[in-house]
Amino acid sequence: MKCDKCGEDAVIYVRYSGAHLCPTHLDEFIVQRVKREIRQSPVVPRQGGILALAVSGGKDSLVMTHLLHRIIGNWRGLRIVAITVDEGIDGYRPESLRIAAKFLAELGIEHRIVTFRDETGFTLDEMRRNKGLESYSPCTYCGVFRRLLINRTAREMGAKAVAFGHNLDDNAQSVLMNVLRGDTDRLLKLAPHNRTKEGMVPRILPLRWIPQKEVYLYALQHEIPIQTAECPYSNTAHRRKPQRVLYELEEQTPGTRHSLLRLQDSIQALAQETQKGEENKESQRCSICGEPASRKICKACEIKMALKNDTSSL
């Protein structure tokens, strides 16, 4: 097949738009959509300031970093700082940490590493063996501490926003999961955020409209390293089912993922319209750690207490 734009050999058939694209035109198509996402975000620090990047070392976060470095890396007054969370997962995290550190050093991007051990006294592997956490899946406490560490580190460095490398498939899955659970509250809180809330650094998603397959092709084209090891706990990830369902829906009706994101956008816009005037209401804080929380004691403190339960029973 030939590229619809230039007649060179195509590397992809983009089903949802019906176009065959060569590497150059796929690259252009990706850059256009990332630029549009950045342009539309009111929280991107255009007038200077710090933009934090959540960089795990996985392909999506490196592709995001590469694209942002290309597109906004030379903005005057903008300082880009990458944050990597080391959960302490043997056989998995050390490789991605090495990849991230080398990649960021080559681009000249500042890099901060924060660890679960420093935060909780335990690595994720140790938490997995902790009897106090038996009723939780590892992805639950992994996600809780990762969110906490990234938000707090970004806030303490004074970042105006924090960018995550979630692609179109990830985002459509999040919307689908919340729709299936009927969880309007979470649906309304999903990133990208277009305003700052007390204690919370707004999140942006530059790859929001880029499907996983295109992210992969971008990584190949730009020789971005791809980690081979998978997280040993990923088979417990609760995303597997929605992943399969979404794949089938997209096969039958190309464009389903885009429709889910548009649904999210319109629901969030409607909710913001009705909440006007309430933006400055003081948000709730955890009574133990003082971090923003939706209840009296935040999930991170709840898990820390459960961790201690095991130690005290030894």
Of 263 and 288, nearer to Zn ion (C-beta) is 288
**Total number of residues shown for the chain:** 314
Question: How far is Cα 305 from Cα 125, in angstroms, rounded to an integer?
Answer: 18
Residues that contact Zn ion, how many (by CB under 5 A)? 5
Least Å distance between CB 231 and ligand SF4? Answer: 3
Least Å distance between CB 128 and ligand SF4? Answer: 9
Least Å distance between CB 152 and Zn ion? Answer: 11
Task: List the interface residues with Zn ion, window 244-303 (CB under 5 A).
Answer: 286, 288-289, 298, 301
289 binds, among ligand SF4, Zn ion, none (CB under 5 to 8 A by kind): Zn ion
DSSP secondary structure of 111-145: EEEEEHHHHHSS-HHHHHH-GGGTTS-HHHHHHHH
Of 14 and 139, nearer to ligand SF4 (C-beta) is 139
Q: To which residue do tokens 């999903």 refer?
A: 190
End-to-end CA distance of the chain: 65
301 binds, among ligand SF4, Zn ion, none (CB under 5 to 8 A by kind): Zn ion
Of 90 and 248, nearer to ligand SF4 (C-beta) is 90
298 binds, among Zn ion, ligand SF4, none (CB under 5 to 8 A by kind): Zn ion
Of 22 and 85, nearer to ligand SF4 (C-beta) is 85
| Angle between helical axes of 138-156 and 299-312 (0-180°, round to 10) | 120
Question: How far is Cα 199 from Cα 147, in angstroms, rounded to an integer?
Answer: 13
Site residues for ligand SF4 per CB under 6 A: 138-139, 142-143, 231, 233-234, 237
User: Closest Cα partner for 95 from 191, 275, 215, 226?
Assistant: 226
Of 66 and 146, nearer to ligand SF4 (C-beta) is 146
The string over 189-207, giving b where at least 16 C-beta atoms fall within 10 Å of a residue's C-beta and e elsewhere, is: ebbbbeeeeebbbbbbbbb
Site residues (vs Zn ion, CB under 5 A):
286, 288-289, 298, 301
